[in-house]
Structure 1
Amino acid sequence: MGRVVGFELSSQEPKKAAKFYANVFGWKMSEPDWDYWAVSTEKDTMNTGIDGGISKGPSDYPHGTRIQIEVDSIDDAIIKAKDNGAMVVQGKMEFDDFFLAYLVDPTGLGFGLIEQK
């Protein structure tokens, strides 16, 4: 575990950002759900990559890019990250197929932790 498995682009204009990335890079966008557009970068055997999403940026992260790092245990990873100087921005959230949390490392870089159910 510890692989980067996704990305999230935060924007105060997510619809406009989704249109831009679809037009420029050919990314496929899902219908929005809670101001979040899931993104498929259309990988194939010759082109590896990761998928992600575009969302309306929250007040703590209005613009920017965060990676999502897959972990075996989100609870253990949060404890370990905090012990090493990270700050939890959004604690563990539960979704249908996964858990997600947002943290900031000691240098100010934001990232997400994701644990598959």
Structure 2
Amino acid sequence: MERIFAANLDEIEEGAFLNKTLGGAKVLLTKVNGQICAVENRCPHLGLPLGKGKICDGAVTCPFHGSSFNLLTGDNIDWTNAFIGVPMPGWTHKLIALGKAPKALNTFKVECEGEQVFVNV
């Protein structure tokens, strides 16, 4: 793992993503209840970007297939319940999943030193 400077504290906002490429990894930074977190900008379902996903109650929802993930832990909360942001009936959820089992979102360790934020990628 490599510890890389990611941003200054004042650049990271609650409820919004700061999109960075750090050491070749595409990373999203945000604050959840004042705690800074860093996650991979890649939904584990099909690898599509999460940067335009909705943040609500400490979770991000994939804008493509509706999977949602806890931003602090990466835990999967819901798996493939929408198509291009449109909620779909329950019987379609397995079809949308394309046979893929629920997976957690990759997270990165965050360290703060003064006003600087570092991410281990």
What's the TM-score once normalised by structure 2's chain length? 0.26
What's the TM-score once normalised by structure 1's chain length? 0.26
Q: Which has the higher helix share?
A: 1
